[in-house]
Amino acid sequence: MAHKHPYLKKTKHHVLPQSRFPDLADKESNIVMVSEREHDSYHRLFENKLPIEILDYLVNTFWGGNKNFVENYLDE
């Protein structure tokens, strides 16, 4: 019997970190299922940042302060 690679296993990811928002920990709207690999990678890069903090980090760290990428995406 073939076993799924452990990194393909789905895990719960809290959109708003449960460590920062314990009252939202079990809310279905705050949980998405992602692969273990994606989940580990996400937290290695973004730690427990909020979505807005992640966007700020990406804009200022990787995109040289250029917000056009985000603004263009939101305009679509």
List beta partners, residue 34.
11
pTM summary value:
0.82
The answer to whether residue 4 is domain-embedded is no
The answer to whether residue 27 is domain-embedded is yes
Helices 51-61 and 68-75 sit at what angle, rounded to 10 degrees?
Answer: 130
The answer to whether residue 70 is domain-embedded is yes
Tens-place pLDDT, residues 29-68: 999 999 999 999 999 999 999 999 999 999 999 999 999 9
Helices (H), 1-76: 36-46, 51-61, 68-75
Q: Residue 30: give the domain boundaries.
A: 9-75
The answer to whether residue 1 is domain-embedded is no
Please count the structural domains in the chain: 1
The answer to whether residue 52 is domain-embedded is yes
Asked if the model's pLDDT at residue 1 lies above 60, the reply is: no
Asked if the model's pLDDT at residue 4 lies above 90, the reply is: no
Tens-place pLDDT, residues 13-34: 999 999 999 999 899 999 999 9
The answer to whether residue 30 is domain-embedded is yes
Contact 25, 18 (CB under 8 A): yes
Of 8, 70, 18, the C-alpha closest to 43 is 18
Asked if the model's pLDDT at residue 11 lies above 70, the reply is: yes
